[in-house]
């Protein structure tokens, strides 16, 4: 791949809107490849350095987007990531963390404040799309002040990033899972439990966890006969797993929930983030081990799931 393969004339340059990306990763070749992909997509690489330089605090200016690769962790790295979490919040930068499934729980637990985008076992296209999302959707304060010409430039940038990601994907053997557009709701609506009039809804007990586990097993059994992607519904699969775990009084790690979602971990993490923002999931810190954090249903989501199971079980009970 060469720069010429993906070069284009960006209308953002004149408006000074091209996002600056700071890249931190171990390995010169890896950093060069990441920088080349970012520049080809129209982003400005402000700096590129070893991950240790970022974690040590030597780097003070982070730029618009921080793209860091952290594939392995130990206690010292986790502590450094927690300090970085606060630095990112103070700087106002957007953080993208590239990690592995083995390090996911520790990485997720370390970033409590900055809510980074986390990509697991990412491809080159995954990384370009992640930065593209930030450039196209983040910094709404600037977008509101843009002229119509600059708004169109941002739109073109988003389209070009998607096109570049598809080209990058063609150079790799692994599929791009996180390139699809993800939105919880076109209008940003939150889930809610319907109420009858002004009366408070009657509390309903959670279903027997064995019933929920049976539903999960039945859903998984479909993959024996059909392509699993035909029935991909990560939000529902995670809700089922969490309601069963709540009934079992068990805690669910981020890694476990990603597996339960039945989709690539990066995709599952986007759902977890959106479901948390929508008030359905809650992050629960592990008081015994600060290197871990769990995901649980919110009270509102628990009530909704309890009512759902009560409603679908009522006709069965009546027929019996």
- Is the pLDDT confidence value at 35 over 90? yes
With a cut of 50, say whether residue 8 has pLDDT above it: no
**Which CATH number belongs to the domain containing residue 159 in this structure?**
3.40.50.2300
Sign of the CA dihedral with 88 first, then 90, 91, and 94 last: positive
Residue 30 lies in a domain: yes
- Same domain, yes or no: 139 and 237: no
The sheet with strand 293-297 has its strands ordered as 252-253, 293-297, 281-285
In a domain, 198, yes or no: no
Do residues 166 and 214 both lie within one domain? no
Residues 140 and 16 in one domain: yes
Please state the pTM of the whole predicted model. 0.73
Say if 193 falls within a structural domain: no
Range of the structural domain that residue 133 is part of: 3-170
Which stretch of DSSP H or E encloses residue 120? Answer: strand 117-120
pLDDT one-digit tens code per residue, 52-109: 999 998 887 777 899 999 999 999 999 999 999 999 998 888 999 999 999 999 999 9
Same structural domain for residues 149 and 250? no
Q: Does 164 share its domain with 235?
A: no
**Residue 194 domain-assigned (yes or no):** no
What is the per-residue pLDDT for 150?
52
Q: For the purposes of burial, counting CB atoms within 10 Å of the CB of 188, is it exposed (0-12), middle (13-18) or buried (19 or more)?
A: exposed
pLDDT in tens, 172-222: 544 434 333 333 444 444 444 444 455 555 677 888 999 999 999 999 898
161 and 77 inside one domain: yes
- Say which CATH number the domain at 312 has: 1.10.10.10
Number of domains in the chain: 2
């Amino acid at each position: 791949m060469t720069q010429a393969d993906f070069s284009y004339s960006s209308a953002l340059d004149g408006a000074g809107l091209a996002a600056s990306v700071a890249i931190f990763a171990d390995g010169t070749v890896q950093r060069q490849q990441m920088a080349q992909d970012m520049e080809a997509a129209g982003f400005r690489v402000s700096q590129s350095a070893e991950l240790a330089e970022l974690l040590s605090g030597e780097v003070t200016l982070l730029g618009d987007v921080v793209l860091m690769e952290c594939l392995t962790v130990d206690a010292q790295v986790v502590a450094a990531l927690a300090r970085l979490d606060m630095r990112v919040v103070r700087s106002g930068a957007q953080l993208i963390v590239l990690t592995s499934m083995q390090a996911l729980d520790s990485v997720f637990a370390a970033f409590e404040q900055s809510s980074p985008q986390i990509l697991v076992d990412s491809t080159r296209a995954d990384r370009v799309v992640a930065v593209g999302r930030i450039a196209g959707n983040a910094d709404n304060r600037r977008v509101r002040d843009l002229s119509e010409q600059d708004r169109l430039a941002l739109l073109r940038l988003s389209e070009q990033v998607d096109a570049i990601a598809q080209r990058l994907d063609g150079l790799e053997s692994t599929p791009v899972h996180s390139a699809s557009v993800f939105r919880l709701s076109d209008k940003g609506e939150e889930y809610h439990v319907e109420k009858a009039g002004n009366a408070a809804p009657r509390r309903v007990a959670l279903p027997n966890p064995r019933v929920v586990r049976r539903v999960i097993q039945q859903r998984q059994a479909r993959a024996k006969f059909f392509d699993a992607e035909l029935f991909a519904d990560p939000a529902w699969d995670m809700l089922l797993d969490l309601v069963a775990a709540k009934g079992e009084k068990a805690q669910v790690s981020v890694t476990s929930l990603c597996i339960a979602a039945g989709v690539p971990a990066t995709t599952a993490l986007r759902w977890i983030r959106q479901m948390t923002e929508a008030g359905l999931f809650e992050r629960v810190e592990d008081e015994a081990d600060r290197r871990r954090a769990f995901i649980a249903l919110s009270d509102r989501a628990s009530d909704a799931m309890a009512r759902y199971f009560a409603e679908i079980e009522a006709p069965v009970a009546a027929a019996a």
